[in-house]
A and B are shown apart, each in its own frame.
Chain A
């Protein structure tokens, strides 16, 4: 089941903040966030495991609400290098059939 990401696109000025959401209709065991720049492969940002945690990575952090089957990625004080398409990948299998299903992505553009 493909997770739903919102918004589809967002345009920021350097220094502004953004939130990208990811929701699923199925119970999730983990949520993974990636950033992909044009013509390149996705780059891993962070993983959130079942247990409702929040993680941070410099000015990028994320939360995971397993009860609501939702995750949010927070980008604060955005930099030009943050531009790209952000994908959430969800694992709803929990083990033997482990795989990630990705949302359609959120295109983030950071302008000077």
Chain B
């Protein structure tokens, strides 16, 4: 299947600072990427849909100014958590849409964010 790479795998940051997570499609061009958030033992909650060259579409209840998404190229989308707080600590996972396989969505490895 298609390969999606996410970096960093884990990050610890101080409360009030910002942290950036990168998501890359390694062997295909991803016009659409998705960012999910997952708390322990819970489901995958879609935060936003990232389309290359346009503004991201955020799900209801997700703060646009807090979770900045940029999809500047066909292989890279970034999520920046601004002014992070302990309640932002979570597992963030990106995924990319792969049209040649019936729009299968492949996930990156995920990033563990801990805000202290």
- Mark interface residues in A68-112 (1 if CB within 8 Å of B CB, else 0): 000000000000000000010101000001111111110000000
Of the listed stretches B14-22, B63-71, B72-80, B105-113, name the one at the interface; the rest are far from the partner chain: B105-113
Of the listed stretches A12-20, A37-45, A59-67, name the one at the interface; the rest are far from the partner chain: A37-45
Instruction: Give the interface size class of chain B.
Output: 20 to 34
B104 within 8 A of A: yes
Number of interface residues of A (CB under 8 A): 23
Known contacts A41-B109, A99-B34; is-contact A2 B104 (Cβ 8 Å): no
Cross-chain contact A47 with B46 (CB below 8 angstroms): no
- Least Cβ–Cβ distance between B63 and chain A, in angstroms: 19
- Mark interface residues in B84-116 (1 if CB within 8 Å of A CB, else 0): 000000000100010001111111111000000
